Amino acid sequence: MKKAIITGGGTGLGKELGKLLSKDFHIVLLGRTKEKLEEAAGEIRKAGGEVSYAVLDVRSPLEIEQVCSTKLLQDDLGLLIHNAGVGYFGPFSNTGDDELEAMFETNVLGPIRITKALLPQLEEVGTTVINIISTAGLRGKKNESLYVASKFALRGFGESLQKEYEDSNLRVVNTYMGGMNTPFWDESDHISDRSRLRSPVEIAEIIVEKYKSNDEITIESKK
């Protein structure tokens, strides 16, 4: 059974993708918090899936090097899903370097470094790489300037790899979805009407349904 590696796999969309994909893959969850990874892994096992996990902060080049060199991430890689992400919102004039660095380290440099670290295996077995980008990678948005910039960067990385590897068996799928209804928004007033947001389960179902036949998936918020 091939493996599906999911960053940010302990909660939200990552966990839901793990549950759905466990029918066809051995799930490998990566995330910063061991307790959340254990909880998500338990739910996947309860559903009958095979799952492993490793603690990894995608902002750390050293941790990426260490984890990607383990046997867990070396063999039979069917899917690599760059799901870990972070967002800070508000007027550009109020933004700071800490927020800028956190978003680019997590949303851009993490996926790039992990892909590079695993590239020989990805090419060899014909892995599908799925970039979870958000519709912020398609158009500018008010009070999201740095977040949008990070997502445009990930979009550019993914589209460039699509062209570079179009004659190989390595696939890259860019996924753009609207905001998700998660506890993240409990502490933010950036989204005024959360009823428009899709649940992580809804978005995971659409991605799993479409990723095999589409190189680009767009999932807009509800009207």
List the alpha helices (DSSP H) in 57-199: 61-68, 97-104, 110-125, 145-164
How far, CA to CA in Å, does 60 sit from each of 15, 34, 74? 22, 16, 19
CB burial of 52-86 (b: ≥16 within 10 Å; e: otherwise) equals bbbebbbbeeebbeebbeeebbeeebbbbbbbbbb
**DSSP letter assigned to residue 199:** P
Determine which one of 53, 88, 147, 165 is catalytic: 147
**DSSP letter assigned to residue 220:** P
Q: Judge whether 88 counts as a catalytic residue.
A: no
Catalytic residue positions?
A: 147
